[in-house]
Structure 1
């Protein structure tokens, strides 16, 4: 995370306890293929990469070229580059490209991008999943604002839409949990 700070990235990384949770979710699911929608500085990517077997793979999507370069450097320092791939571009466009490429489905999908588009990402992610895929949406509680029906914050509105979508989809089992940490 020091490298992230030195390169001017915002301090929005997952916490160590969140990273350990992601690691655990991947291990429990015996995950081999992970799709991460937004990587920022790569701390969650690192935790995911640690969870994978030698032949496991994580594909991280990042909108910002500088962030992607920082992630690449961080993953090199961590010694996990052989398990990782980073694609730069708008997440919705990159997800559509993956669908068009007919890539193999993912065992775990981590949605941690702009909250306004969480419903779009969920819809596309479902096309890249299979029965049993774990989909994790990060930062949806929004400091408790998720329950404020009158909020005008677009991130809150996006998170509310995401939760509503999950509740309406019949082929999805979902829950919301909060991880206690420093944030």
Structure 2
């Protein structure tokens, strides 16, 4: 695929069965070259939709090319611009709730993305947040790394919200030791 790929296949294997996603509407914060978007679009099938947010229009154009090559462009809308801003606008205007949201954008904004994702989803929806372990760096409460602080705040926000059930899935691969948070709204 053209462009860089931030999600590797090892990140996607822990999801046991993509078939149950057929026909669902999903949102994605952070498109990059569209690799995870392609997986989502294939999972939701012809009846589902994916709306994905990408900061840089040049990268969004690469993602659109990759989606076209993969044969799924007809079920994906790529929105260019800052994800936090685009997501907030989306939350204010989007009328149909998402069944699934995948968050893989700038880590310092994860708490804001979660807040918007909660506005965009219904009870029973699944929210997946990528890259939440950072080789174990998130356990360092004194870290100055803004990505680590973003993840730590995200975890604190999840812990404080009784409407969320959460688990972490560790991944080990070419990007090192990392993981996903999988949340379900109750």
Normalising by structure 2, what TM-score?
0.88
User: Which residue of 10, 13, 24 corresponds with 1:17?
Assistant: 10
**Cα gap change, 1:162 to 1:135, in 2 (>3 Å):** same
2:120 maps to 1:128: yes
User: Which residue of 154, 159, 166 corresponds with 2:158?
Assistant: 166
**Cα gap change, 1:90 to 1:36, in 2 (>3 Å):** same
Deviation track 1:5-56 (CA, whole Å, cap 9, x = no partner) reads: xxxx4xx42111223445x565345561110001111000011111112111
For residues 65-80 of structure 1, the aligned pairs below 5 Å read: 65-80=57-72
**Cα gap change, 1:37 to 1:26, in 2 (>3 Å):** farther
Larger % of helix: which? 1
Matched residue, 2:102:
110
Of 30-39 and 150-159, the range deviating more from structure 2: 30-39
Count the aligned residue pairs: 175
1:20·1:47 contact (CA, 8 Å) conserved in 2?
no
2:42 maps to 1:83: no
Larger % of strand: which? 2
1:26·1:108 contact (CA, 8 Å) conserved in 2?
no
In structure 1, runs of 5+ residues without a counterpart are none
Matched residue, 1:119:
111
Coordinate RMSD, CA, aligned: 1.6
Normalising by structure 1, what TM-score?
0.89
